[in-house]
Amino acid sequence: MQPWRSGERTGPGAASPQHRSPQYSYFQNWTTHLDEENFYFNFCNLKKAKDRKITFLCFQVEGASTFSKGVSSNQIGGLHVELSFLSWFENNLLSHAQGQYQVTWYLSWSPCCNCAQEVAKFLATNRNVKLTIFIARLYYPERRQNQVGLRQLVSQGVMMKAMSLQDFSQCWEVFVDNHGSMFKPWENLDENYSWQAGNLDQILRGSWNLLKEETFCLHFNNQRRLPKPHPRRRWYLCYQLMSPRGDLLDKGCLQSKKKRHPEIRLICRILSMRLDQAQRYQLCCYLSWSPCLQCAQELEKFASKHKNLGVHIYTARLYCHWLRYFQKGLYLLWKYQVLVTVMGLQEFDDCWKIFVDQEKPFPAWPKLQQCSDKIQNRLDRILKVWSLNDLNDALSDLSLRQ
């Protein structure tokens, strides 16, 4: 059962980089404590949290010569509370005193994708700020963009965890006007915590949308012919995107859908992440079939426009390699420095461990490496022939100009 709530988070929806604007240099309705009723209602870690649209943030800032704490929430027509905090923090603390800062957040909802990206950028610029986030509930965890946002935060050194009974008790003691009373756990708190923590762990490890064992062994099998009867082998693409620091930002498995090859779907997915153009990223892809000419052309255009993204393609088989039409696609990728390598035993094993929902070691089929070597030799010959043809054409063109 997926968590849900009625409507999106309070605020304009898309968090913008205007968090440094003077008009947002303070928290709206910033208080030192939260009343008991608000805490119990908004921080309850339900799997299905109806009518809880507002995100509450309890914060604590510790520095060499400063200590601050408080509670705030999203306001209608204002920025999300995470960005409002950044504006206040930058204008009131960072601009007045240097040194190391330890910031702790207790959030009723995890950050949306836009807020996560902005916070990650802020931390990348301000290395003297360390952030720890305790989350009561995950905000639409099935949405890939939200998953990517949380991984971007972790890639910038953010410590993130779901709130346990101990964390709720700590938040109660520090931030709730409790009149000296003890925190009373609600029903199923521990069960809900296990559910939230398990989902968060899956997101941070990127283990959503894995392939089944039989799917991988059929569609990535590099033998020329499979024993009959067997279904048609389709286009599958497994990918992982790494941050400049080598942390996992995103990973997934795609297949052809509605006449769109997975390469095109991947390009659209990467573009939606709005990666920082000033940072260097690595994209590693494992394909069941090498790209067709149209997909190769789109990949070449994409790579040429995004020089900060290194792309390496591993393919199990070459698609219609005997036709010059498809050979041209392979040559274009090589010519414009998009690496294409045939998968060997090591690559199959790596792909199995990363992208397959498996409970056993990779079951290598007979003559796997022999098939791989033959396909790699075939690819090398194609690239060599096309390179010579390209060189001959260039020489002919030069002679005609003289």
**Tens digit of pLDDT for each residue in 38-85?**
999 999 999 988 888 889 999 999 987 888 899 998 866 667 999 989
Do residues 351 and 236 share a domain? yes
What are the helix (H) ranges across 178-312?
189-205, 213-219, 262-272, 293-305
Candidates 62, 82, 187, 191; catalytic one: 82
Does residue 13 sit within a domain?
no
Q: Rounded to whole angstroms, how far apart are CA atoms 10 and 350?
A: 43
- In this predicted structure, which of 105-109, 198-202, 391-395 has the lowest mean pLDDT? 391-395
Mean pLDDT, rounded, for 254-270: 91
Do residues 226 and 317 share a domain? yes
Do residues 247 and 201 share a domain? no
Domain end: 163, 189, 205, which one? Answer: 205
Higher pLDDT: 259 or 307? It is 307
CATH of the domain at 335: 3.40.140.10
| Number of domains observed in the structure of the chain | 2
Amino acid (one-letter) located at 330: L
Do residues 185 and 249 share a domain? no
Domain end: 152, 186, 205, which one? Answer: 205
Note whether 152 and 144 are within 8 A (CB): no
- As a whole number, the mean pLDDT across the chain is 87
Going by pLDDT thresholds of 50, 70 and 90, the confidence category of residue 257 is confident
- Structural domain for 169, as ranges: 18-205
- What's the full length of the chain, in residues? 402
316 closest CA partner among 337, 356, 344: 344
Does residue 5 sit within a domain?
no
Note whether 262 and 315 are within 8 A (CB): no
Annotated catalytic residue 82: yes
Does residue 6 sit within a domain?
no
Count CA atoms closer than 13 A to 194's CA, side-chain side: 3
Condensed to tens digits (0 to 9), the pLDDT of residues 268-277 reads 999 988 888 8
Q: Is the pLDDT of residue 158 over 80?
A: yes
Do residues 234 and 349 share a domain? yes
Q: Rounded to whole angstroms, how far apart are CA atoms 40 and 55?
A: 13
- In this predicted structure, which of 15-29, 163-177, 268-282, 343-357 has the lowest mean pLDDT? 15-29
What is the DSSP secondary-structure string of 311-349? EEEEESS-TTTTSHHHHHHHHHHHHTT-EEEE--HHHHH
For residue 39, what pLDDT is reported? 96
Q: Is the pLDDT of residue 320 over 90?
A: yes
Does residue 1 sit within a domain?
no
Mean pLDDT, rounded, for 332-352: 95
* Cβ burial 287-301 (10 Å sphere, 16+ → b, else e): bbbbbbbebbbbbbe
Angle at 342 between CA 339 and CA 343, to 5 degrees: 115
Q: Which helix (H) or strand (E) holds 101?
A: strand 101-109
Do residues 60 and 171 share a domain? yes
Does residue 321 sit within a domain?
yes
Do residues 257 and 177 share a domain? no
Do residues 122 and 166 share a domain? yes
Q: Name the residue with tokens 């923590």.
A: 197
Token pair recorded at residue 79: 């920025």
Do residues 65 and 45 share a domain? yes
For residue 23, what pLDDT is reported? 41
Does residue 7 sit within a domain?
no
Does residue 9 sit within a domain?
no
Q: Rounded to whole angstroms, how far apart are CA atoms 242 and 251?
A: 9
Do residues 242 and 385 share a domain? yes
Higher pLDDT: 190 or 77? It is 190
pTM, 2 dp: 0.73
Do residues 197 and 240 share a domain? no
For residue 21, what pLDDT is reported? 42
Does residue 96 sit within a domain?
yes
Note whether 200 and 160 are within 8 A (CB): yes
Do residues 221 and 160 share a domain? no
Domain end: 140, 172, 205, which one? Answer: 205
